[in-house]
């Protein structure tokens, strides 16, 4: 899959640098020629000797290398590669990229490149969540830099966990493959697909909220499958512990009202798939301070309805997507309730799934990796077999592509 391709791997200075050695091996296994640049900090974690032995070539470490810079080596390194991968990408290295700094070989190569760049961030969760890092990431995305990860998990620091783990080597390889894939138009090329995913969190007070068990795995898989099919994809995601799909524009939101605003801002679209499990209610009046126990008296929470995002888009008289797909997570009478929901909301299709403990899916649908759904449309009810959420997404996207293709041809 990488035959004839050259990948320039830039290894940043973090404990995750040890994974970069396996990444080199995985890329080589798939036919890539791998050249390696290491920052000074990276050499505290892995050695140029180890990286060079796996890459079968010299490792570049110095900007002012007398031999390499005789022919402007940092320019040559950037231009001779088909793809640049930064793994691990530290907060410091991403800050340099975002601000155009070039005070070492790695940053100079990145600044001089006109090739696709794939970044795999790795850092402490507080560093990843820091506003400065968020601004830098936003700038890099706006500049066309591609991201894979970071993932959620335990950190090297004792007792710390959260978003900040570098994506696994095979995840990075898959993202690199997607960027280097031949530019054959997919069945959704030229289409704009809008997807919602995950739960919403409706605050009760500054520390409590109303939510549900949605993991976002199905919605994110649909967004990834649509992008793979060539669509321009906008994903509006509630709070999830998942990396953003490669090649997808993502808007992160917390509440139903924020999701509604992001959806309205993303329209028009050719197809809209509402896989998010939006909270039906929110508290009528959010407390400004943490609610305290008061002699054992229970607080009275008055609830109000959240906006119905699916119905609002499905029932539009102007700017309605040609295809509107809703999801129905039910625990009983799955097909009957989902069929009624389709009629009530005014959407074209409903994807119904049984999220009860009796679904027969090990680990359950919500939070699990498998799903069994029924596709409900004006033509009737179509049961699909149990499959991975990725397979369900690919099948749904194929049906969407066929629908939009038939609409165009007719």
Verify that 251 and 390 share a domain, yes or no.
yes
Residue 53, helix vs strand vs coil: helix
Residues 169 and 247 in one domain: no
* 1 in any annotated domain: no
The C-alpha atoms of residue 393 and residue 192 are separated, in whole angstroms, by 16
Domain boundary among 119, 154, 180: 180
Alpha helix positions (H), 61-114:
73-80, 91-99, 105-111
Q: What are phi and psi of 375, to 5 degrees?
A: -95, 120
Given 155, 180, 205, the domain boundary residue is 180
Same domain for 173 and 249 = no
| CATH code for the domain in which residue 265 is found | 3.40.50.10300
In terms of phi and psi (left: phi > 0; alpha: psi -120 to 50; beta: otherwise), the region of 312 is alpha
pLDDT in tens, 89-127: 999 999 999 999 988 899 999 998 888 999 999 998 889
Rounded CA-CA distance 321/11 in Å is: 44
The residue to which tokens 């090990």 are assigned: 362
Q: Greater confidence, 187 or 156?
A: 187
**Model's pTM, two decimal places?**
0.61
Q: What residues are paired with 352 via a beta bridge?
A: 328, 374
User: Do the bridges between strand 151-154 and strand 161-165 make them parallel or antiparallel, or are there none, so unpaired?
Assistant: antiparallel
Token pair listed for 299: 């607080």
List the catalytic residues.
Answer: 212
pLDDT at 138 over 70: yes
Answer yes or no: is 118 within a domain: yes
pLDDT category of residue 61 using cuts at 50, 70 and 90: confident
In this structure, the answer to whether residues 131 and 242 fall within a common structural domain is no
Has residue 186 been placed in a domain?
A: no
Binding-site residue positions for CTP:
280, 290, 307-310, 327, 341, 345
Based on the fold, state whether residues 153 and 240 are members of the same structural domain.
Answer: no
Whether the predicted pLDDT of 378 surpasses 80: yes
Domain membership of residue 233 (yes or no) is yes
pLDDT computed for residue 149 by the predictor: 82
Is it the case that residue 408 has pLDDT exceeding 70? no
- Specify the CATH number for the domain of residue 36: 3.40.50.1950
The answer to whether residues 65 and 118 belong to one domain is yes
Residues 106, 208 within the same domain: no
Average pLDDT, the chain: 88
Whether the predicted pLDDT of 178 surpasses 90: no
* Whether residue 343 is found in the same domain as residue 368: yes
Structural domain boundaries enclosing 245: 192-409
Question: For the chain, how many structural domains are there in total?
Answer: 2
User: Which of 290-299, 311-320, 326-335 ranks highest by mean pLDDT?
Assistant: 311-320
Does residue 109 lie within any of the structural domains?
A: yes
């Amino acid at each position: 899959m990488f035959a004839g391709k050259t990948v320039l791997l830039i290894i940043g200075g973090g404990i995750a640098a040890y994974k970069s050695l396996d990444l080199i091996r995985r890329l080589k296994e798939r036919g890539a020629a791998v050249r390696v640049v290491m920052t000074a900090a990276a050499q505290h974690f892995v050695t140029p000797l180890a990286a060079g032995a796996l890459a079968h070539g010299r490792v570049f470490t110095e900007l002012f290398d007398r031999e390499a810079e005789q022919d402007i080596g940092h320019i040559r390194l950037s231009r001779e590669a088909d793809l640049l991968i930064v793994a691990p990408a530290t907060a410091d290295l991403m800050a340099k990229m975002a601000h155009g700094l070039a005070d070492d070989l790695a940053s100079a190569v990145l600044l001089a490149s006109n090739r696709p760049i794939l970044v795999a961030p790795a850092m402490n969760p507080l560093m990843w969540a820091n506003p400065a890092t968020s601004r830098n990431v936003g700038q890099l995305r706006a500049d066309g830099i591609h991201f894979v990860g970071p993932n959620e998990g335990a950190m090297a620091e004792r007792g710390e966990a959260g978003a900040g783990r570098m994506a696994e080597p095979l995840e990075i390889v898959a993202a690199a493959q997607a960027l280097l894939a031949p530019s054959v138009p997919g069945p959704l090329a030229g289409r704009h697909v809008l997807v919602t995913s995950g739960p919403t969190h409706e605050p009760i007070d500054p520390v409590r909220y109303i939510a549900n068990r949605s993991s976002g795995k199905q919605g994110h898989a649909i967004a990834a499958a649509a992008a793979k099919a060539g669509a321009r994809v906008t994903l509006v995601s509630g709070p999830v512990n998942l990396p953003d799909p490669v090649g997808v524009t993502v808007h992160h939101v917390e509440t139903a009202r924020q999701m509604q605003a992001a959806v309205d801002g993303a329209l028009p679209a050719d197809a809209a798939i509402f896989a998010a499990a939006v909270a039906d209610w929110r508290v009528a009046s959010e407390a400004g301070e943490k609610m305290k126990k008061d002699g054992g008296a229970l607080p009275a929470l008055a609830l109000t309805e959240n906006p119905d995002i699916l119905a609002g888009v499905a029932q539009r008289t102007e700017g309605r997507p040609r295809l509107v797909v809703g999801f129905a997570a039910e625990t009983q009478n799955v097909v009957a309730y989902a069929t009624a929901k389709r009629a009530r909301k005014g959407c074209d299709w409903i994807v119904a799934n049984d999220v009860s403990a009796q679904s027969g899916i090990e680990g359950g649908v919500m939070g699990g990796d498998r799903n069994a759904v029924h596709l409900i449309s004006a033509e009737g009810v179509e049961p699909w077999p149990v499959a991975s959420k990725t397979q369900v997404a690919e099948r749904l996207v194929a049906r969407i592509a066929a629908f939009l293709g038939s609409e165009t041809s007719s």
